[in-house]
Amino acid sequence: MIKIATLVTFYLIFPVAIIWMCRRWSAFKRIGSIVLAYAFGLLFGNIGILPTGGDEYLFAREGRAAIPSVEMQQLLDSGTVGNGDLFVNQIASVQDLILTIVIPLALPLLLFSLNIRKWLRYAGTGFLSMILALVSVVVIIVASFFIFRNTVPETGKVAGMLVGIYTGGTPNVASIKTALDVDSSLFLLTHTSDLVIGAIVIIFFITLAPRVFGLFLPPFKRPGTKNGSAEMIAEAESMEDYSRLLGKGAFINIMKSLGVALAIFAVSAGISLLVPASSQMMVVILLITTLGLAASVVPAINRIENSFQLGMYFILIFSFVVSSMADLSRMFSHEYLNVILMVAFVIFGSLILHLILAAIFRINVDDFLITTTALVYSPPFVPVVAGALKNKEIIITGLTVGIIGYAIGNYIGIALGQYLSAL
């Protein structure tokens, strides 16, 4: 029991070390806290610190996060598994419990600080580019499903996760993974493939893309400077400023936002009991998204400071835990290499289709790049690309699109994942 408690404590506290490294060394800050969480989780889970269990246990557990305690005891009594396997199963149960808790808590926390009316006032013509981007993503993901359905495991679920990746990033894809009950190794490979390929694309975005896409799209010509630009820049830069969780009055704000998030979680879980067990987690995630958005329009909740940063800390915990559950030897089998091809097809296919549609509808090159960045890489990356474009005005458009992506990504991803999985 002491070992399990130590493991839980380590899972919950280690993200603090990741945050410290990002603050201490600029190279780590450029890599990003979430990428580091995945990397350290993979290292922790695959260097032999965590036991793996025998072949009989792994066969009995295949396709499940952990074996239920009653079934495990029966296997133990029959001699099919040993005491070592019992400890492995306890670890797996704890890992699954952490994942089950942190995402339903993180999701409303990320939504509480939204001010939909303010974002909409500043969005401008970027909305058209956002709609074209969403259309491009959905069309290419559906196409990828039919192309890879015979070579990628659980292709419908992967398609649903890809919608989450390209409409809000890690928070959305983590929520969709939980809702669709996706295998941790499959989730990690899908998201890691996106991180690797996406890193190449974002470098292209801040170097050659403005000139390349400028050959096909008109230049940015919107006159004037929008009010509130400085406020929006500060908002973007604070999204991953975890030091705010330690400031004056932070503890009270943490307790307030966490209390509301727990209440939303409890209400959603209670309502989900009215549906079949196989659909309960999906219903919980959708209800939490809806109630989180509803809570954001309540001034007393919307004004609670640092709820977004607290939600992102839970996302770091999720990233570290889920990556520690992945088996690298299994991930890089021939079957899983097709996942990488599917992700690459979606990234480049949706980008090309969005470019074609943007050219048809005469979207300027800056709005095209900033809306793509906001949806694919999430709001924290918006100031980076805006700085490369030397256009602070489009930060407002980018943040608006990114926040809308957070709000709608779960609905689209879960719906599409369920529909394609049923085909």
211, 140, 173, 182: which is closest to 354 by C-alpha?
Answer: 140
For the chain, residues with pLDDT lower than 70 are: 62-65, 115-124, 222-240, 278, 328-335, 378-381, 383-384, 387, 392-393
The predicted pLDDT at position 383 comes to 64
The predicted pLDDT at position 357 comes to 95
Q: Hey, where are the domains in the chain?
A: 2-99, 104-421
SS3 143: helix
The predicted pLDDT at position 408 comes to 84
Exposure pattern of 220-259 as b/e (b: 16+ CB <10 Å)? Answer: bebeeebeebeebbebbeebbbbeebeeeebeebbebbbe
Instruction: Quick: pLDDT tens for 29-55.
Output: 877 787 788 889 888 988 888 887 787
The predicted pLDDT at position 378 comes to 66
The predicted pLDDT at position 41 comes to 87
As a whole number of angstroms, the distance between CA 186 and CA 190 comes to: 6
pTM metric for this prediction: 0.72
